[in-house]
Amino acid sequence: MKTLLSLAFLASALAADVYVPFYDTSANGYAAPARGWNSFGIQANQPLQGSVGWDFNDWQCVFDQHCSLLPPDYYCSLDSGWSNDGGDAHGRIVANDAGVFNTYGSLKNFTAHMKEKGIKVGVYLLPGALSGDANMTIEGKEDLTLGDIFDTNVNETNLRLPFLWGQPGVQEWHDSEVRYLVDQGVEFIKLDFVTPGSDQPGLPADTSMSAFHYHTAIQNIAPDGKIRLDLSWHLSRESPYFERWQANADSIRLDDDINNSNSTSLTSWKTVQRAIEAYRVFINQQTLNATRHGVGIRVRPDMDNLYVGNAQQMSGVSDVERYSMAIHWIGAGANLITGSDMTHLDDLGKELLFNDEAMDVANFTSQWPMQPLLNGGAPSQLQAWIAGPNEKGTAVVVLANYGPDLGDGGFGTNSSDVQLVSAPLDVLGIAGSSWAVRRVWGGGGSGGGDHEDIGVTSDKLESNLGPGESVLYKIQRQ
């Protein structure tokens, strides 16, 4: 009896101790993750062409078709392929104006065209510069060539060599690149293949300082020191790298790409399970490490493109799985950059990408990321997440049934049943109050309807959920 009592006491003491993680303003001055569209999913899956009729020989047209359909203030992120394989007279990576942007005349004219619609353009870069530009002099440091500052102890990869980071000339080169991008109107950089993290064989082991040099260049050159810097992929979270990303980047990719390859659909539930598991690990690294408590997380997660805009045949995930993806990307406070075919959004796709109430939740989670609390936050087919509560007593709760582990989910169980996912308020760290519950999204199946007030609770939140299904609640302390 004594033991039971003390265990009960311990449980409530632990509940009161659930640490509430929060995001801070990022290195380049952003208080919320980016929203937008990125081209990679459709680039990697050109068999989609048959069903949609895009002309993959005319990328500017494809970019324009998709990005013109975005709301104002969204980013149009152009992936690999926008630039030339040889730099300009100063070895700067520049747009393929004569090819990719020939209808507009230049990338600059394309960004101006997008800006008229309020859309911001992003481009894709890799660490280092093109090895073929070794003889070019550095703008602002004309006594040096790129060859003087290349690290030639490593092999060229993706046509590039890394720099001797920190040497004179390296910052000047990054400044010159950002000066070019600012002149072109670019407002977002996806810096890909950064290491440690990206695990393509042969990559230089450590290009993390490229994030430092781009950040410094952004501070030196960009208007108000503001261009978003997104790092990809699967970035290390060991010291000193995590600290370096936090100090220089606005978001980091937590996982490998989630796109299908050469397919007629964009993604699959197996890889989405993996991406959600990668976020679980990421947020636990913040919440379970007491030395990180009380300090805002400065770098937000990039969970890869949110492929929820199209019907199942094109998205590659079912409608309940599309809900689950959107719910988890929003709950994480991750970049909300879709890779869907914007020209074929269905009604659910519009709901999942643009619904006002869900975007209001996204505004909340852009400050308060969700953390997993069932089973102590361990991998689990059934999970309950909470974001907040904030000082006003607002919180967001997500319940999920990930369905059978398709191989990369981390939880390893395989039930296809509809299951009751039950989250006692003490497990969520919010016992002792009553909470008004609004179901923002019910998941389209067993989870119930969208946009409904469902009452007040003082003991638990629970829902039946089928495989792959999630529900998103916004709750308010009474």
Ligand X SMILES: *[C@@H]1O[C@H](CO)[C@@H](O)[C@H](O)[C@H]1NC(C)=O
Enumerate binding residues for ligand X (CB under 6 A): 44, 105-106, 109, 132, 134-135, 154-155, 239, 257-262, 271, 289, 291-292, 356, 359-360, 363, 404-407, 412-414
Structure tokens at 58: 């005319």
Query: Could you check whether the bond before residue 233 is cis, i.e. omega within 30 degrees of 0?
Result: yes
For the CB of residue 11, give the shortest distance to ligand X in the complex, in Å: 25
In the complex, which residue's CB is closest to ligand X?
105
For the CB of residue 324, give the shortest distance to ligand X in the complex, in Å: 18
For the CB of residue 238, give the shortest distance to ligand X in the complex, in Å: 7
Cβ-contact 414, 455 below 8 angstroms: no
Torsion of CA 294, 299, 300, 303, to 10 degrees: -130
For the CB of residue 436, give the shortest distance to ligand X in the complex, in Å: 19
Q: Is 286 helix (H, G, I), strand (E, B) or coil?
A: helix
Judged by beta carbon, residue 69 or residue 406, the one nearer ligand X is: 406
Token pair 């997660």 in the structure block, residue: 301
For the CB of residue 456, give the shortest distance to ligand X in the complex, in Å: 24
Judged by beta carbon, residue 12 or residue 289, the one nearer ligand X is: 289
Judged by beta carbon, residue 188 or residue 193, the one nearer ligand X is: 193
d(CA 155, CA 162): 9
What does 343-362 look like in DSSP terms, one character per residue? GG--HHHHHHHH-HHHHHHH
For the CB of residue 4, give the shortest distance to ligand X in the complex, in Å: 32
Catalytic residue selected from 257, 302, 319, 450: 257
What does 229-263 look like in DSSP terms, one character per residue? EEE-SS---STTHHHHHHHH-SEEE-SS--B-SSS
Which letter, b or e, does each residue of 110-119 get, where b requires 16 or more Cβ atoms within 10 Å of its Cβ?
bbebbeeeeb
Catalytic residue selected from 97, 133, 175, 192: 192
Judged by beta carbon, residue 291 or residue 313, the one nearer ligand X is: 291
Cβ-contact 54, 99 below 8 angstroms: no
- The distance in angstroms from the start CA to the end CA of the chain is 34
Q: Is 436 helix (H, G, I), strand (E, B) or coil?
A: strand
Cβ-contact 320, 469 below 8 angstroms: yes
Catalytic-residue membership of 55: no
What does 50-71 look like in DSSP terms, one character per residue? HHH---TT-HHHHHHHHHTTSP
Beta-carbon contacts of 83 under 8 Å, excluding residues fewer than 6 positions away, are 93, 94, 95, 96, 123, 124, 125
Judged by beta carbon, residue 3 or residue 135, the one nearer ligand X is: 135
For the CB of residue 248, give the shortest distance to ligand X in the complex, in Å: 15
Judged by beta carbon, residue 44 or residue 386, the one nearer ligand X is: 44
Maximum Cα–Cα distance across the chain: 81
Judged by beta carbon, residue 232 or residue 457, the one nearer ligand X is: 232
Catalytic-residue membership of 192: yes
H/E segment holding residue 291: none
Positions marked catalytic? 192, 257
